[in-house]
Chains A and B, each alone.
Chain A
């Protein structure tokens, strides 16, 4: 008898999570290598309730960074702090979330 592996079912989510381009997708993969668990928590939130803040971890941006243009649409920008040295900036659309930037590092001046 042949045993066939059953892959983990993929959840149907309210929001598709996209990377702005291949560079951002590569940066996300690089961050996953060292921060898989907090990235998964982030992904789960973005794919289900991206317009709800999460304490000091996830908030909308302000001023000139409050909105951005993506494929002809003006979208609200938010930032998720993975940890003190890693953040991702996202733009939230009607049924999708775009990761605009994956940033590593922290300014010394802000310690």
Chain B
């Protein structure tokens, strides 16, 4: 299912009306002669490709193999890794049914950011031997222009 459907002629004449709809997911363009076309953003296309590759790895070798495609999974603890794979599965299933591919891209990115944040925590622990001790918070002023 697509988030929106139009004729190719409508798209060619009013692309400004059609293109913003790709921000949510796939848009189908019907052609009188020839197969329908599907429009999506590169990020959405990459997200679908990534999830397909994850699926192939998981079917071949189990859930542990997902990290060959999503290396940041290794930075998450076991519980988060399970939550992540379950959520990706749910979001992918909903995206396929609804055409809302942007949710898939967003979810992938948010989990990658979480993986990087987990890596940062581990790096800090290795450097300092433990989390930084809590002290009073300090205001951060807006950066001023660089002095010359």
Contact = CB atoms under 8 A, between A and B. Distances in A.
Interface of A: 8, 10-11, 16-25, 28, 32, 36, 39-40, 43-44, 47, 53, 56, 59-65, 71, 77, 79, 81, 87, 89, 98-99, 101, 103, 105-107, 109-110
Interface residues of B, number: 42
Instruction: Give chain B's interface secondary structure class.
Output: helix
B97 to A, nearest CB: 22
Ranked 3 nearest A-B pairs via Cβ: A63-B80, A103-B120, A21-B135
Given A62-B111, A107-B116, A40 B132 contact: no
Interface string B40-81: 000100000000000000000000000000011011110110
Interface in B68-117: 71-72, 74-77, 79-80, 83-84, 87, 106, 109-117
Given A18-B140, A43-B142, A103 B134 contact: no
Nearest to B133: A21
A64 B140 CA distance: 27
Instruction: Give chain A's interface secondary structure class.
Output: mixed
Contacts, number: 120
16 contacts: A16-B139, A21-B136, A21-B138, A23-B135, A40-B142, A43-B142, A43-B143, A53-B106, A62-B114, A63-B80, A65-B114, A65-B118, A71-B137, A79-B117, A87-B113, A107-B75
A64 B116 contact: no
Contact of B84 (A8, A11, A62): A62
A18 B119 contact: no
B142 A11 contact: yes
A20 B138 CA distance: 7
A77 to B, nearest CB: 8
B142 A44 contact: yes
B138 A63 contact: no
A91 B120 CA distance: 16
B123 A98 contact: no
B143 A39 contact: yes
Contacts of A16: 139
A3 B33 CA distance: 76
